[in-house]
Amino acid sequence: MENLKQDIQFFEEALKEYKFPNTPRGLFEPVEYLLGIGGKRIRPVLLLAATRLAKGDMNKAIPAALAVELFHNFSLMHDDIMDEALVRRGKKTVHEEYDTNTAILSGDVMLIYAYKLLLDLPDDIIVMANRVFTKMAEEVCVGQQMDMDFETADDVEIMDYLKMIELKTSVLIGASLQLGGIIAGLDESDAFHLYEYGKNIGIAFQIQDDLLDTFGNAETFGKKIGGDILNNKKTYLYLKSMQLLEAQDAIQLKTLFSEYTPNEDQKIAEVKQLFKAANVKVYADELKNEYKALASSHLQAIKTFDTEARAYFQEFSDYLVKRNL
């Protein structure tokens, strides 16, 4: 993991050097607050690594790496408002630390600055990079709307859920890698496989995230455990459990996801018990590994990558999908 640590450090230094305007503080301070409380930096590091391992110049990739990190945090800032989340990365969410209107506007400016950064890329790839970025941004918004719609829908299928997380989460990981490849000069075929690797490992990552949200440790996860349950999120855990449980237990689970309860801890405990009764963690792990294997097949298809490059991304894949519960 030594190369990964070096790539993270390279990006952290670039982020530290990037300065927002000093005024108005009410607009930019919340941006600096959210960026300053950490995060795994998965997307920008993947972009930089893709550039480096495809024999490109990492310094040319810095604007795009900063852009995807700003976009990711913009989406988190607004997502937390919609979910009424209290904690992000172990700290107060922006709308809790400041207020909702501030979080909306500061999120907006992060999106604008992400697009400004793309203008600093080499002239010959600006148009292509913007097309990739804009397609991704549109898809993330569609995925977010699907996620919200699912909270009150009764007819959500597992394939619907997988499409939603592909759009809401995975396309940003795929686009980050694709941008890194474009900056390094990869041909269309290799850039496609790089995107598909990222998209599929992103789905595996989100399934693991769902497991962590329900069964993880709050201190290491950085968010309240059971947030998806309290927000009635139709995750894979819920949808698969509805298929596996006996009729009476399935009715109870559906009721817990449709009725308001003032006792949040009790709701979380009851849902977790039903998930355990369905043994759904085993099915989630199996599905996660299927997407990981599909991602690996695309990784192997990238002609430009040597053994070192494939080993780096294979190690990164293991890191993403084996985070501790």
Q: What is the pLDDT of residues 42-65, one digit of tens each?
A: 999 999 999 999 999 999 999 999
**Which stretches within the chain are classed as H helix?**
2-17, 25-36, 42-53, 58-83, 94-97, 100-118, 126-150, 158-165, 171-184, 188-215, 218-221, 227-230, 236-244, 247-256, 264-278, 280-300, 307-321
> Mutual orientation of helices 58-83 and 25-36 as an angle, nearest 10°?
100
The predicted structure's pLDDT at residue 258: 84
Asked if 66 and 180 touch (Cβ cutoff 8 Å), the reply is: no
Q: Enumerate the domain spans of the chain.
A: 2-321
Band of the pLDDT at 205, cuts 50, 70, 90? Answer: very high
Q: Packing angle between helix 42-53 and helix 2-17, nearest 10 degrees? A: 110
- C-alpha span between 210 and 232 (Å, rounded): 13
The identity of residue 156, as a single letter, is V
Tokens 């817990």 sit on residue = 256
Q: Residue 91 carries which DSSP code?
A: E
Q: Quote the pLDDT of residue 83.
A: 86
Can you give the pTM of this predicted structure? 0.91
Q: What is the DSSP letter of 168?
A: I
Half-sphere exposure of 296 (CA within 13 A, CB side): 14
Q: Is 88 helix (H, G, I), strand (E, B) or coil?
A: strand
For residue range 163-204, list pLDDT tens digits in order: 999 999 999 999 999 999 999 999 999 999 999 999 999 999
User: For 243-253, how does the pLDDT look when each residue is reduced to its tens digit (9 = 90+)?
Assistant: 999 999 999 99
Q: Is a pLDDT exceeding 60 seen at residue 286?
A: yes
Helix (H, G, I), strand (E, B) or coil at 131: helix
How does pLDDT run across 214-263, given as a tens digit for each residue? Answer: 998 766 666 678 889 998 899 999 999 999 999 999 999 999 988 777 78
pLDDT (0 to 100) of residue 90: 84
Share of the chain above pLDDT 90, in %: 82
Residue 64's contacts (CB-CB under 8 Å, 6 or more residues apart) are 47, 117, 118, 121, 129, 179, 180, 183
pLDDT tens-digit series, residues 146-158: 999 998 888 899 9
If you classify domain 2-321 with CATH, what class do you get?
mainly alpha
Q: Name residue 92's beta-bridge partners.
A: 87
For residue 87, what is the enclosing H or E element? strand 87-88
**What is the per-residue pLDDT for 309?**
94
Pairing of strands 91-92, 87-88: antiparallel
Inform me whether the pLDDT recorded for 325 exceeds 60: no
